[in-house]
Structure 1
Amino acid sequence: MAEGTPLDINAELLKFRDQIDAIDQDILRLLNQRAALAQSIGHVKAKTDAPVMRPEREAQVIDKLVKANQGPLNAAHLQVLFKEIMSACRSLEREVNVAFLGPLGTYSEQAVWSFFGHCVKAEPVDTIEEAFRQLQAGHVDFAVVPVENSTEGSVARTLDALVDSQASICGEVQLPIHHQLLTRSGTLEGITSICAHPQALAQCRQWLAQHAPNITQTTMSSNGAAAKLASEDPTVAAIAGQAARERYQLQAVQEHIQDDASNTTRFLVLGQQHTGPSGFDKTSIVASVPNRPGAVYAMLEPFNAQNVSMTRLESRPARTGQWEYLFFIDLQGHQNDPPMAQALSQLRNTASFLKVLGSYPAAQRPGN
């Protein structure tokens, strides 16, 4: 069969484009209807000073859409689209302020956009402790901090701050770490130094040894700082992520240069509000038990008895100088769920210290 002429093809394309234009007008009308309802909700919330963002509600909205979806858009497409729609509508109620571990262009900033969408005010801070302080002082609504990396392990400063702080975990982000080698030109021509955070250099060791063995490696305080330097100095390349690439208008010499393709960092979203059940949640606790035989077994037994699944267990010195340890535990379920509530009640009778750090929607959800 002979191929259509350019005129025939253009006519066919025009027909589809006209249909898309009509659908876009319908989408615009419906989006504004949704936005108007969000404004009305904001007026109701203002009467009781209710939180402008409910992480469990937003998780439920996306879960429902994913379940009803028949394609061709997949779950990841829906999550990106509706995160931004909800972010825009939420901003009409009130601007949400979020502190994150800076500087600009880091994976922490990328985690903010992933969780909240782009219609928030993201404020970089210098340290994890400062993010907690900004939240506790009421200067921001939420804070986003890293808590563990799949190759480097837990972030001790975050764990320590969680014990001392009154902040509650409201959500989590599991962000794949896709390191890119970035320069102003998009090539290594004229590059004399590759800059990055020490962890990023370590995570790209094999690729650098094979593709850039003769270029000096320079450690920086963060990948964001390295990207900023690369944007100013044509002799510098930076290892950083997509957020830094976009913010500093750099070009990729090569994407995905990390040695471990599954490298992932988990971030916590902290707030000062209780997050209700979403239908698929995690609960994080920290506990300590007396130093005697069988104490750790006794600490974990209530969860086994109530059939509560444990997804993470890590010990850390309690900083008392007495060789005491704190146990950080992630559990599947919400603290309000009857089995979880019963297990926590039993644990309070045996633990020398117990703090529920928060219940929150799990990042990895059924169907996503």
Structure 2
Amino acid sequence: SRSLQSKKRIAYLGPEGSYSHQAAYKSFRFDSILIPKPSIDSVINEVISGRVDLGIVPVENSTEGMINQTLDLMASSRLYVYREIMLPIVHHLLSKVDLSSITHLFSHPQAIAQCRDWINSNLPKAKVVEMASTSEAAMAAARHASGAAIASEYSAELYGLNILASKINDNPDNITRFWVISRHMAKTKGKAKTSIILTLENVPGALYRAIGTFARQEINLTKIESRPSKKNPWEYLFFIDIEGNLDEDDNVRMAMEDVKTCTKDIKILGSYPEGGMLT
């Protein structure tokens, strides 16, 4: 129908019930078709191929840091950041059996890390099994005779599990940042964040000179993260977030021109609105 044709197709890390699904649903449910994919790289491949308009991938957690797989895939693809989403993360222990009967605990590696103290105190003997997403973990727990999952309240509803323990995050202020990714660089108006990837020459002072270009233009760096380039040994990529809008701010444009003179390569992921917190 005409209404279906006008809706955006958006891929997210599934299955249904994952935190990526919650970010997608809360942000795009009224005007989009949401399509679950089994892994971060399959989300990115769907966007690259044009089978979907946008993808939603986790990029950073407030307690566990950057999602390296997302950074590496964005560095090697020709995709851009369309916007960011901030989602509070609340983990629960889900199962069909009682706590004393649990032998296997399923969850995503980030969720496991975010609940490490709780697991050690309450399920020290359970075998921990890493899954591609928290919702896939909930599905596994539903199938397992003595299994449990760390996942969302929504996953408990979807997969017929009981909530044995609520809010088991070691840090209650747990937020995951998601990138909405696109094949096209979007223009944005007003206050924005800009993300770039730098490759530097392996010489003394290279990072200092690159960062200095932003300081001279009085631009605030809100994030800097290094990753191996996977092209040459000991060559690193630097993922940098800055405050400013490449489309509107002259000092950001001037800094980008200056940084090109002291870097081996620069990839601009785009300027996009700073993400408001979803509830």
TM-score (norm 2): 0.88
Q: 2:236 aligns with which of 282, 301, 325?
A: 325
CA deviation profile, 1:46-66 (whole Å, cap 9, x unmatched) = xxxxxxxxxxxxxxxxxxxxx
Written as runs of structure 1 = structure 2, the 5 A alignment for 1:4-23 is: none
Q: Which residue number in structure 1 is paired with residue 187 of structure 2?
A: 276
1:128 aligned residue: 40
Q: Residue 296 of structure 1 aligns to which amino acid in structure 2?
A: L
Q: Please list, as runs of the form range in 1=range in 2, the aligned pairs for 1:86-235 lying within 5 A after superposition.
A: 94-117=6-29, 119-184=31-96, 187-188=98-99, 190-213=101-124, 216-221=126-131, 222-233=133-144, 235=146
| Runs of at least 4 residues off by over 6 Å | none
- For the aligned residue pairs, the C-alpha RMSD in angstroms reads 2.4
Cα distance between partner residues in 2 of 1:190 and 1:128? 33
> Secondary structure of 1:357's match?
strand
Contact 1:109–1:243 (8 Å) recurs in 2? no
Contact 2:93 2:150 in 1 (8 A): yes
Identify if the C-alpha distance between structure 1 residues 247 and 120 changes in structure 2 by more than 3 Å, giving closer, same or farther. Answer: farther
Percent of matched pairs sharing the same residue: 37
1:301 alignment counterpart: 212
The offset of 1:126, in angstroms, is 2.5
Q: CA deviation at 1:92?
A: 7.3
Letter of the 2:177 counterpart? R
Secondary structure of the residue aligned to 1:261 is coil
Provide the rounded CA distance (Å) in 1 between the counterparts of 2:95 and 2:54: 33
Corresponding residue for residue 173 of structure 2: 262
For residues 118-146 of structure 1, the C-alpha deviation after alignment (integer angstroms, 9 at most, x for no partner) is: 55222222232222221111100101111
In the superposition, the TM-score normalised over structure 1's length comes to: 0.68
In 2: Cα distance, 1:260 partner to 1:333 partner: 30
User: Match of 2:200?
Assistant: 289
The residue that corresponds to 1:355 in the other structure is 267
- What are the residue-to-residue correspondences of 1:243-262 with 2, within 5 Å? 243-262=154-173
The CA deviation at 1:343 is 0.8
Of structures 1 and 2, the larger Rg is shown by: 1
**Structure 2 unaligned spans of 5+:** none
Provide the C-alpha distance between the structure 1 equivalents of 2:154 and 2:85, rounded to a whole number of angstroms: 15
SS of residue in 1 equivalent to 2:90: coil
Letter in 2 for 1:294: G
1:315 maps onto 2:232 in alignment: no
After TM superposition, the structure 1 = structure 2 runs for residues 329-344 of structure 1, keeping only pairs within 5 Å, are 329-336=240-247, 337-344=249-256
Contiguous gaps of at least 5 residues in structure 1: 1-41, 43-90
Report deviation, 1:112.
1.2
Give 1:284 shift: 0.2
Structure 2 CA distance for aligned equivalents of residues 293 and 193 of structure 1: 50
Shift of 1:362: 0.6
Q: Give me the whole-angstrom Cα distance separating, in 2, the residues matched to 1:237 and 1:146.
A: 23
Q: Which amino acid aligns with 1:219?
A: V
Q: Equivalents in 2 of 1:179, 1:228: separation in Å?
A: 16
Q: Distance in 2 between matches of 1:158 and 1:257?
A: 26
More strand by percentage? 2
Per-residue displacement from partner, 1:251-306 (whole Å, max 9, x unpaired)? Answer: 32221101111222221100123322232211000012222222212111221111
What is the aligned length?
A: 275
3-state secondary structure, aligned to 2:246: coil
Distance 1:274-1:232 versus aligned 2 partners, 3 A rule: same
Q: Which moved more, 1:333-342 or 1:150-159?
A: 150-159
Structure 2 counterpart SS, 1:175: strand
1:31-46 equivalent positions in 2, closer than 5 A = none
> CA 1:292/1:104 → structure 2, altered by over 3 Å: closer, same or farther?
same
CA contact (8 A) 2:95 2:148 kept: yes
The 10-residue stretch of structure 1 (307-316 or 107-116) with the greater mean CA deviation from structure 2: 107-116
Tell me if the contact between 2:104 and 2:129 (Cα under 8 Å) persists in the aligned partners. Answer: no
Amino acid at match of 1:313: I
- How far off its partner does 1:189 sit? 6.7
> Contact conserved, 1:100 with 1:143, CA < 8 A, in 2?
yes
In structure 2, the partner of 1:237 is 148
